[in-house]
Amino acid sequence: MVLIKTTKSGQKVEVENGWLYLDGKKLSSRVEKIDAWTKQQLDKKYPGNDYEYRADKLIMNAEEGLKSKGLVDAYNAKVKGEQAAKDQAEFDALVASGEAFRTAEITEQYGCDLMWARRFSEEEKAQYSDWFRDRGVCSLPVGGRVKVESKAVRQVVDGRSADAEFCGCSNMAWTITETEWNEIVRLSEMIRAEKEEAKKEYKKAEAASLQRKIDTGYCFSCESWCHGDCGNYSNDPTVSFARELKLSLAEMNYGIKE
């Protein structure tokens, strides 16, 4: 263990394997800067203090905090690096054996992804129902995950039935080739560009329509060309926006539009 400090009450603050210990007992695996509100309260209670970091309820000065954080971060980086190397080695072995393959997954609630996957091992299959054992797949942490458009996926798989499924809520997937992967990425980029252009055109048309209403005496209070006859004339579009927002919130909260 690396000694950080000994408190006024004689307790030892030490760091080992990514954890801070207080008298040999685990305290926290996080060391962070003290937030502004807490710092303000500490300044009131201990004027002239040099506290800048915290780990759970332990308060430290800059030197102690930076030393602790450096040790914790270094350990975590080492663990992350070791895990990444292990994942890469496993991925390379699966690719070499043909057990790893590319997939296109469609989850309407989360979007669509391209990723590498593998089938369940015999041990894993025992945890699932018979119908899912040969259909289910696990995503691999290496190989990349690419967000794509569902329209692009459906265009490339061209009516093929999904032949794989990730654990979750109807996470349907298709096994695809490298060529299909690249085509889905290309189509997705094209679809997104079209969406962005359509969005720009829509905003442009909406702005023009709004300006025409303002120029021709439209009243955003009564939503007609009353030219002041309603008694509450306003050519400010935010009046209409505020009303629509109020109605939307009422419908969302109470299911009514009154």
pLDDT tens digits, residue range 8-56?
Answer: 899 999 999 999 999 999 999 999 999 999 999 999 999 999 999 999 9
Residues spanned by the domain of 24: 2-77
Residue with the bigger pLDDT between 247 and 104: it is: 104
pLDDT tens digits, residue range 81-127?
Answer: 999 999 999 999 999 999 999 999 988 778 899 999 999 999 999 99
What's the pLDDT at 191? 97
173 and 120 in one domain?
yes
Residue 127 lies in a domain: yes
Distances (CA, A) of 140 to 29, 43, 100, 177, 207: 27, 49, 8, 16, 46
225 and 157 in one domain?
no
Residue 234 lies in a domain: yes
The bridge status of strand 164-166 relative to strand 145-148 is unpaired
Residue 72 lies in a domain: yes
Q: Are 61 and 52 in contact (CB under 8 A)?
A: yes
Residue 144 lies in a domain: yes
Residue 199 lies in a domain: no
What's the pLDDT at 3? 94
What's the pLDDT at 256? 59
